[in-house]
């Protein structure tokens, strides 16, 4: 039986995910076996019979045959509506998800199945900037299944040829692999098609369905919809896609882009509406920060190295900081941004998701449900944010030399009297045994002095430190710090104290540095590539489950309401600066110094 399973691991996706490590590294072979471990476990999971009943599918064999030559027999019809109430039972939930992952893995890569990816809102910014380029990169890397089709769907009138021209302008070849690039592009573009339609028109989706069927050529048809449209039309599109263009014999999945509402109530309403047309395990709520390489590496760092996990608690960690800054303003997205602000745009999702991964307990396994269960526990253990633990700011115009940088309210799509924060700093707390009393600080801002995303872990001072005299460094300040630089120029470095070489005794601060560009020659894939591939493979680990979302909103909603109801004025900071001074007072109140204020890196 074991041989049967291992002989199945020849699908394109599995192949494209076996990254080759640098020759001297045994570490990577360990980590890639973790990944194949996930697959192995998922594939071996027996099929849960209830699912077959619920989805009214044909009976499913107890042992899944994974040989590519064996046609997958059964999948959950996408439009089968499974009520979500009983999914609250996490055991059943786990079983269902593992089961559908098994089906997904069977169905996505074989000779007798096909995957159709429809980008809804294909004429838009995100589609052009991220989604089509990520799909091409997956194709280039042989990660897409043998049989696949890509459809663009939007209201704009376009022919297939015009879509191809539009998409071709956004495609780039990998720096490390330029061979055959134009051939590959042409092959890819030939598999891209376009259908123009309204987002609320069943007829238009029926037309799409017809075109999809023609291209699917009678194979088991799996369908992935990427909703790259404004949130007010999500439900219209989901309703039409699910009723008129979901797969009759394969899976149907929908990737939903943020914003997932703007507070607890609107988020819950969105979830309820989505669940009228889809099961929870058909919904892939994307947070692209979870697809970033160093965020993915966070769990590997913690759980595959002996040295970190024992230190990962209030006993040794003084505070943790999650930092996001951009060196540009809203630039054309002010209309969207003004309704959300930086807390909803970055903190409630990207930074909080990273925090949950950082702080969670060891999951039972690397399966999606085990990881998401642990993340939910962390989020539920957190205190809702208080206004007194938050500082908000907004950038104002600034002139440097000959250049004048605009204020946020100079954006034509932003009301002149807008109080929407473009910067926020916050102190959060996790009331559990591991993290009691440890401040988790977040700072996020637009139009700051630099573009960067980092996690900084500041350790406590060394008790009874022998070197606590004046050896050139204040060791109370110069505690160890672990920095995970998510972007740009990915790196993980640990600040340590060391002796300056020589006959004297002076201490210095140095970095033990894993600098990705120096260590790995391979280009780091874009987050959207990883997440699209995961959605095709049915891997939900990096997507947000509805209970995670509820818990995340519960932390921020009271604060957001208070900020808006009391019309709290932001502290103004010049475009290109380090942000409002108030952020320093906030940190000082919690006995913390922001780690990004130093001169290093
Ligand atoms: N752009 C980005 O960097 C990011 C975007 N997102 C999210 O991704 C989604 C898509 O973003 P983005 O591509 O920037 O969005 P766009 O504003 O570019 O909209 C995408 C497409 O939707 C259609 N559309 C736009 N407005 C309306 C409307 N009022 N009614 C009906 N259709 C409309 C348009 O296509 P047509 O007119 O042809 O139908 C447009 O090309 C959004 O949910 C956004 O919040 C998330 C993170 C980053
Ligand atoms: O989700 C968002 O993310 C981008 C930043 O993403 P990055 O991958 O370029 O760091 C941000 O600019 C945007 O406001 C926000 O909606």
Pocket of ligand 1 (CB under 6 A): 121, 123-127, 154-156, 199, 228-231, 233, 257-259, 336
Q: Mean pLDDT in the chain?
A: 83
Residue 473's pLDDT is 58
Residue 24's pLDDT is 44
350, 449, 515, 584: the catalytic one is 350
Which of 287, 601, 307, 300 has the alpha carbon at shortest distance from 454? 601
- Where in the chain do CATH 3.40.50.720 domains reside? 112-257
Note if the bond before 259 is cis, omega within 30 degrees: yes
Cα–chain-centroid distance for residue 166? 26
Residue 302 C-alpha to ligand 2 middle, in angstroms? Answer: 26
Higher per-residue confidence, 86 vs 514:
514
**ipTM reported for the complex surpasses 0.90:** yes
Residue 350 C-alpha to ligand 2 middle, in angstroms? Answer: 9
Residue 214 C-alpha to ligand 2 middle, in angstroms? Answer: 37
Order of strands across the sheet that contains 113-120: 192-196, 148-154, 113-120, 220-227, 252-256, 283-286, 543-544
Residue 6's pLDDT is 29
φ/ψ of residue 29, rounded to 5:
-65, -35
For the stretch 124-164, pLDDT in tens is 999 999 999 999 999 998 999 999 999 999 999 999 999 99
Token pair of 45 as six digits: 């999971």
The pTM of this model reads 0.85
- Active-site residue 48, yes or no? no
Ligand nearest to the CA of 345: 2
Residue 526 C-alpha to ligand 2 middle, in angstroms? Answer: 13
Lowest-confidence segment of 96-110, 368-382, 451-465, 509-523 by average pLDDT: 96-110
DSSP 560: H
Ligand nearest to the CA of 351: 2
DSSP 217: T
Closest ligand 1 atom number to CA of residue 128 = 13
Q: Give the span between the Cα atoms of 482 and 490, in whole angstroms.
A: 14
Q: pLDDT band at residue 22, thresholds of 50, 70 and 90? A: low
Closest ligand 2 atom number to CA of residue 453 = 10
In this structure, how many other beta carbons lie within 10 angstroms of the beta carbon of residue 600?
12
Which of 112, 166, 151, 167 has the alpha carbon at shortest distance from 241? 151
Nearest CA to ligand 1 atom 3: 126
- Average pLDDT in the 21-41 region? 36
Closest ligand 1 atom number to CA of residue 288 = 47
Residue 287 C-alpha to ligand 2 middle, in angstroms? Answer: 10
Residue keyed to tokens 């039986």 = 1
Q: Does CATH place domain 293-525+546-590 in 3.90.660.10?
A: no
- Where in the chain do CATH 3.30.360.10 domains reside? 293-525+546-590
Ligand nearest to the CA of 260: 1
User: Is residue 47 scored above 80 in pLDDT?
Assistant: no
Pocket of ligand 2 (CB under 6 A): 288, 326, 345
Residue 20's pLDDT is 52
Token pair of 34 as six digits: 């973790």
Higher per-residue confidence, 281 vs 92:
281
DSSP characters over 118-145: EEETTTSHHIIIIIHHHHHHHHHTT-S-
Which of 136, 129, 131 has the alpha carbon at shortest distance from 120? 131
Q: Which CATH superfamily is domain 112-257 in?
A: NAD(P)-binding Rossmann-like Domain (3.40.50.720)
For the stretch 217-266, pLDDT in tens is 999 999 999 999 999 999 999 999 999 999 999 999 999 999 999 999 99
Higher per-residue confidence, 540 vs 62:
540
Closest ligand 2 atom number to CA of residue 340 = 16
Residue 293's pLDDT is 97
Lowest-confidence segment of 54-68, 297-311, 370-384, 580-594 by average pLDDT: 54-68
For the stretch 182-224, pLDDT in tens is 889 999 999 999 999 999 999 999 999 999 999 999 999 999 9
Residue of 124, 129, 287, 288 best suited for mutating to test ligand 2, as the one with most atoms within 8 Å of CB = 288
User: Is residue 54 scored above 60 in pLDDT?
Assistant: no
Q: Give the span between the Cα atoms of 344 and 260, in whole angstroms.
A: 10
């Amino acid at each position: 039986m074991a041989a049967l399973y291992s002989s199945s691991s020849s699908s394109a996706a599995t192949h494209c995910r076996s990254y080759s490590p640098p020759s001297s590294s045994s570490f990577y072979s360990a980590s890639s076996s973790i990944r194949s471990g996930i697959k192995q476990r998922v594939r071996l999971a027996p099929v849960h019979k209830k699912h077959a009943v619920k989805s009214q599918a044909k009976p499913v064999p107890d042992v899944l045959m994974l040989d590519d030559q064996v046609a997958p027999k059964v999948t959950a019809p996408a439009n089968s509506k499974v009520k979500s109430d009983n999914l609250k039972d996490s055991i059943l939930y786990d079983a269902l998800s593992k089961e559908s992952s098994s089906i997904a893995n069977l169905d996505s890569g074989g000779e007798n199945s096909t995957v159709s990816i429809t980008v809804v809102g294909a004429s838009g910014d995100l589609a052009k900037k991220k989604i089509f380029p990520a799909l091409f990169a997956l194709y280039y890397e042989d990660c897409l299944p043998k049989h696949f089709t890509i459809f663009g769907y939007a209201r704009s009138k376009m022919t297939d040829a015009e879509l191809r021209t539009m998409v071709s302008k956004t495609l780039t070849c990998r720096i490390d692999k330029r061979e055959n690039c134009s051939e590959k592009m042409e092959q890819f573009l030939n598999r891209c098609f376009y259908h123009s339609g309204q987002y609320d028109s069943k007829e238009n989706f029926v037309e799409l369905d017809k075109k999809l069927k023609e291209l699917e050529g009678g194979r088991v048809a799996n369908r992935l919809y990427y909703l790259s449209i404004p949130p007010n039309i999500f439900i219209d599109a989901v309703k039409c896609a699910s009723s008129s263009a979901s797969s009759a014999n394969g899976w149907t999945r929908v990737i939903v882009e943020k914003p997932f509402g703007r507070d607890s109530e609107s988020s819950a309403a969105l979830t309820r509406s989505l669940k009228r047309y889809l099961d929870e395990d058909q919904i892939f709520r994307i947070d692209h920060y979870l697809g970033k390489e160093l965020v993915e590496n966070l769990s590997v760092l913690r759980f595959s190295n002996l040295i970190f996990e024992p230190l990962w608690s209030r006993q040794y960690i003084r505070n943790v900081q999650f930092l996001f800054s951009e060196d540009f303003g809203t630039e054309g997205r002010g209309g969207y941004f003004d309704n959300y602000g930086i807390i909803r745009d970055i903190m409630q999702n990207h930074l909080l998701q990273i925090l949950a991964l950082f702080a969670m307990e060891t999951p039972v396994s690397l399966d999606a449900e085990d990881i998401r269960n642990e993340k939910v526990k962390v989020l539920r253990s957190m205190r809702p944010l208080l206004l007194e633990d938050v500082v908000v700011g907004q950038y104002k115009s600034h002139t440097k030399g000959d250049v004048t940088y605009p204020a946020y309210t100079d954006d034509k799509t932003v009301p002149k009297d807008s109080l929407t924060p473009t910067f926020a700093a916050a102190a959060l707390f996790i009331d559990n045994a591991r993290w009691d009393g440890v401040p988790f600080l977040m700072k996020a801002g637009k139009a700051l002095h630099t573009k960067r995303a980092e996690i900084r872990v500041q350790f406590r001072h060394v008790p009874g430190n022998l070197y606590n005299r004046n050896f050139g460094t204040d060791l109370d300040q110069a505690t160890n710090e672990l920095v995970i630089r998510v972007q740009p120029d990915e790196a993980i470095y640990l600040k340590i104290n060391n002796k300056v070489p020589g006959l004297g005794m002076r201490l210095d601060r140095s970095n033990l540095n894993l600098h990705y560009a120096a260590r790995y020659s391979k280009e780091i894939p874009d987050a959207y590539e990883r997440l699209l591939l995961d959605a095709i493979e049915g891997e939900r680990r990096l997507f947000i489950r509805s209970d995670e979302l509820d818990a995340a909103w519960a932390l921020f909603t009271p604060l957001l309401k208070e900020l808006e109801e009391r019309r709290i004025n932001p502290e103004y900071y010049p475009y290109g600066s380090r942000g409002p001074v108030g952020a320093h007072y906030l940190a000082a109140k919690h006995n913390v110094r922001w780690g990004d204020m130093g001169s290093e890196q």
